């Protein structure tokens, strides 16, 4: 049943696995005929190794003790080579399983810290890892990356305790101890961490079976500090025994400094890059672009790189670069050569895969959660794991909740949403509101797309709202009928009469853009200003897009201002929009710069450290007051999730691509100015003494 149910063609995270071979005859597969409970992955127990030495005392040959030489050379070692290179088949529980050569090596040869019970206490000791389905999927995905000539490797984001580092170290060690002239390298967030990881692979190497098939000739250093060289030994001591076999691989594993050019021009075979979102001394983009060329032979990827980051450690100076690399590694963007925009394939391991949770008999755990999330055969119960993780989240809040989600994210979106971002804004509140919007979206009125246009297409009449799926605007609340199209005329100039709304815009002005990647979008927002009819300081309309003709966009802004009967504060570095308003007779809708005490500047400039600081502080205060759950348990209406995501990703050092954030900051500054003005006016009104006609 298991044999016939096996599917060679399968898909993992959008990637079709193309390499799984035909299974051997059913009866030739390990565990055939065994009872279900005994169908477990069983590691090979290797016999003791005995050595043959030359006159210098060097080891020149090794063999397994008590194993027939012909059987060892002609049957056993070729079978081990087949397992290391082609993979391994076995029955597990009620399934037929195929694992890759690297995975077989990881389970049988590599020894890593695993939890074992010693004298009733659980502790970590070096031993072979257990078979787990999450590891199976990882190695299958990696193997597909290896055989695809248009793929330069994998970028992996995972939950805590996924074992990603040891899996990649096993890959490096399997390659370096088998493939001639293979250069395998390690880099990490800093050189000290790279050195520490190199120390782990040295420890793994020391515990390999000392047979030359697994433990080839090496340079002779028993405790290498910088490089593990599988080269002809250089005799330095007559007291030391050297492994000096006739065949030498001339391959090696080393670690190097965290610089972009550390492996430049080296012809790397396999490279492991750990915690790439926290690179301290270089740009991850610069480093990867250099590395990619060392992996390539023209358009073909000869070498491969594994780039990883644990969700808990997402953060640091290179986080945005890492996230950009992640986004450019979507397999759906592959071209005819099978190459994504970055050249990498991305892989996420959810916390629900291989999450460790055991049943207890104390009666405290809810029944539906009181069962192990990994069974004795190594299969994950993802459904129960998700329930357990969500249950544990319930009793946490604030920083404690954020920290827990970062350790155990259930999706890549969660991992990046809760990344440790250095920001002047309260990212926790922003993320809380994003999740709130997603959770209750179907339970309340959200935004509607549409367009604003002149009635019957006749300019300078009334502006009408038309719902439209591909409209330029995203509307949350319309003004009441009596608050729309309230225009005052003074000669040929028009100005708004309303006081309930303000608007702002971060414009564009050029039809032709030299570099489309740097093309900015126009962004505009309308916000409420009074409590008379509307909730104060609420975003009610959003515009985000780019018309082919800037004049069409300028006209859109006039229609928006007329419809909401409000003044507009434009960013004035692109002055064309202000000129257009005056040319059309709507100059009375343009507001003066509220930050300029002289009140002689139309619009607002976003240049200058002082102005930028005041704008960012204004947004930070707004986030603190208006986002997240309020003290009374309620939530403000902040329905523009795309805008909130823009705030979350905002880089105070580079505003170029954050059009929505810039527009929002301008309208917040403007609304705060209008409120302050209103308060001052109210206070002055109370101070002015009134007299009757008699002077009393």
pLDDT per residue as tens digits for the range 205-216: 999 999 999 999
Domain 2-349 belongs in CATH node 3.20.20.80: no
Helices marked H in 132-283: 133-147, 164-176, 191-206
pTM: 0.74
Q: Domain extents for the chain?
A: 2-349, 448-683
Decide if pLDDT at 122 tops 90: no
> Higher-confidence residue: 146 or 121?
146
Report pLDDT for 531.
72
Q: Give the CATH fold of the 448-683 domain.
A: Nucleotidyltransferase; domain 5 (3.30.420)
Q: Where are the beta strands (DSSP E) in 216-334?
A: 227-230, 251-255, 270-273, 296-297, 300-301, 304-310
What are the residues whose beta carbons fall under 8 Å from the beta carbon of 645, sequence distance 6 or more? 434
pLDDT per residue as tens digits for the range 13-36: 999 999 999 999 999 999 999 999
Q: Where are the beta strands (DSSP E) in 222-371?
A: 227-230, 251-255, 270-273, 296-297, 300-301, 304-310, 345-349
Query: How far, CA to CA in Å, does 434 sit from each of 263, 409, 415, 641, 665?
Result: 41, 16, 14, 6, 18
H or E element that contains 449: strand 448-454
Report pLDDT for 467.
96
Please compute the mean of the pLDDT values over residues 334-359 and round it to a whole number: 94
Beta-bridged to residue 50, according to DSSP, are 63
pLDDT per residue as tens digits for the range 150-202: 999 999 999 887 899 999 999 999 999 999 999 999 999 999 999 999 999 99
pLDDT per residue as tens digits for the range 393-431: 888 776 677 778 888 999 888 887 766 666 788 888 898
Structure confidence at residue 557 as a pLDDT band (50, 70, 90): very high
H or E element that contains 652: none
Decide if pLDDT at 513 tops 90: no
Report pLDDT for 629.
85
Phi-psi region of 310 (alpha: psi -120 to 50; beta: other; left: phi over 0): beta
> CA-CA distance, 600 to 513, in Å (whole number)?
32
Beta strand pairing call for 270-273 and 95-99: unpaired
Would you say 432 and 627 are in contact if contact means Cβ atoms under 8 Å apart? yes
- Core vs surface per residue 123-136: b (16+ CB within 10 A) or e: eeeeebbbbbbbbb
448-683 matches 2-349 in CATH topology = no
> CA-CA distance, 550 to 100, in Å (whole number)?
57
pLDDT per residue as tens digits for the range 81-96: 999 999 999 999 999 9
pLDDT per residue as tens digits for the range 239-291: 567 788 889 999 999 999 999 999 998 889 999 999 998 888 888 999 999 99
Give the helix, strand, coil percentages of the chain, each rounded to 5.
Answer: 35, 20, 45
Closest to 448 measured CA to CA, from 465, 427, 425: 465
Would you say 514 and 531 are in contact if contact means Cβ atoms under 8 Å apart? no
Decide if pLDDT at 362 tops 80: no
pLDDT per residue as tens digits for the range 454-507: 999 999 999 999 999 999 999 999 999 999 999 999 888 999 998 899 999 999
């Amino acid at each position: 049943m298991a044999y016939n149910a096996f599917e060679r063609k399968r898909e993992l995270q959008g990637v079709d696995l193309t390499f799984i071979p035909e299974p051997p005859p059913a009866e030739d597969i390990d565990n055939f005929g065994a009872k279900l409970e005994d169908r477990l992955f069983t590691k090979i127990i290797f016999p003791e190794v005995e050595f043959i030495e030359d006159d210098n005392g060097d080891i020149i040959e090794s063999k397994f003790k008590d194993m027939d030489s012909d059987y060892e050379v002609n049957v056993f070692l070729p079978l081990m080579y087949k397992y290391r290179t082609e993979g391994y088949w076995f029955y597990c529980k009620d399934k037929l399983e195929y694992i890759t050569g690297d995975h077989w090596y990881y389970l049988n040869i590599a020894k890593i810290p695993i939890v074992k019970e010693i004298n009733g206490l659980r502790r970590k000791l070096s031993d072979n890892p257990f078979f787990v389905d999450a590891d199976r999927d990882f190695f299958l995905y990696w193997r597909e990356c290896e055989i695809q000539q248009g793929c330069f490797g994998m970028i992996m984001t995972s939950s805590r305790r996924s074992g990603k580092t040891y899996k990649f170290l096993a890959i490096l060690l399997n390659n370096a101890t088998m493939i001639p002239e293979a250069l395998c390298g390690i880099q990490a967030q800093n050189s000290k961490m790279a050195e520490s990881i190199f120390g782990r692979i040295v420890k793994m190497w020391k515990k390999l079976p000392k047979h030359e098939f697994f433990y080839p000739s090496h340079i002779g250093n028993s405790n290498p500090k910088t490089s593990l060289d599988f080269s002809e030994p250089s005799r330095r001591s007559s007291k030391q025994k050297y492994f000096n076999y006739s065949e030498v691989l001339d391959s090696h594993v080393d670690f190097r400094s965290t610089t972009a050019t550390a492996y430049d021009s080296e012809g790397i075979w396999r490279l492991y890059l750990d915690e790439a979102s926290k690179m301290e001394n270089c740009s991850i983009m610069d480093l990867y672009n250099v590395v990619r060329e060392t992996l390539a032979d023209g358009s073909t990827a000869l070498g491969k790189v594994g780039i990883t980051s644990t969700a808990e450690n997402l953060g640091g100076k290179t986080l945005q670069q890492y996230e950009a690399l992640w986004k450019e590694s979507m397999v759906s963007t592959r071209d005819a050569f099978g190459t994504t925009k970055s050249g990498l394939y991305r892989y996420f391991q959810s916390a629900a895969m291989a999450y460790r949770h055991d049943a207890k008999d104390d009666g405290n755990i809810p029944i539906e959660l009181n069962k192990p999330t990994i069974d004795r055969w190594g299969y994950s119960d993802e459904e129960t794991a998700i329930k357990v993780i969500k249950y544990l989240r319930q009793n946490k809040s604030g920083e404690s909740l954020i920290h827990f989600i970062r350790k155990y994210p259930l999706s890549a979106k969660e991992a990046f949403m809760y990344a440790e971002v250095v920001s002047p804004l309260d990212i926790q509140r922003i993320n809380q509101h994003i999740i709130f919007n997603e959770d209750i979206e179907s339970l309340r009125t959200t935004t509607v797309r549409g367009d604003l246009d002149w009635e019957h297409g006749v300019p300078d009449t009334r502006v009408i709202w038309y719902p439209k799926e591909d409209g330029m605007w995203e509307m949350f609340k319309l003004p009441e009928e009596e608050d729309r199209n309230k225009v005052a005329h003074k000669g040929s100039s028009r100005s708004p009469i309303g006081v309930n709304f303000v608007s702002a815009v971060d414009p564009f002005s050029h039809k032709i853009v030299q570099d489309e990647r740097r093309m900015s979008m126009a962004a505009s927002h309308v916000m409420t200003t009074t409590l008379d009819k509307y909730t104060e300081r609420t975003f009610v309309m959003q515009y985000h897009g780019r018309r082919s003709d800037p004049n069409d966009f300028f006209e859109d802004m006039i229609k928006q201002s007329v419809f909401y009967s409000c003044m507009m504060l434009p960013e004035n570095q692109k002055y064309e929009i202000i000129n257009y308003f005056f040319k059309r007779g709507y100059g009375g809708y343009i507001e003066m710069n509220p930050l300029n005490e002289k009140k002689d500047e139309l619009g607002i400039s976003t240049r200058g450290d002082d102005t930028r600081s005041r704008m960012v502080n204004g947004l930070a205060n707004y986030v603190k007051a208006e986002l997240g759950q309020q003290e009374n348990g309620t939530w403000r209406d902040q329905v523009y999730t795309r805008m909130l995501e823009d705030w979350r990703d905002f880089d105070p050092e580079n505003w170029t691509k954050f059009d929505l954030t810039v527009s929002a900051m301008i309208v917040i500054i403007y609304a705060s100015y209008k409120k302050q003005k209103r308060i001052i006016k109210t206070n002055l009104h109370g101070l002015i003494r009134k007299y009757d006609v008699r002077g009393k």
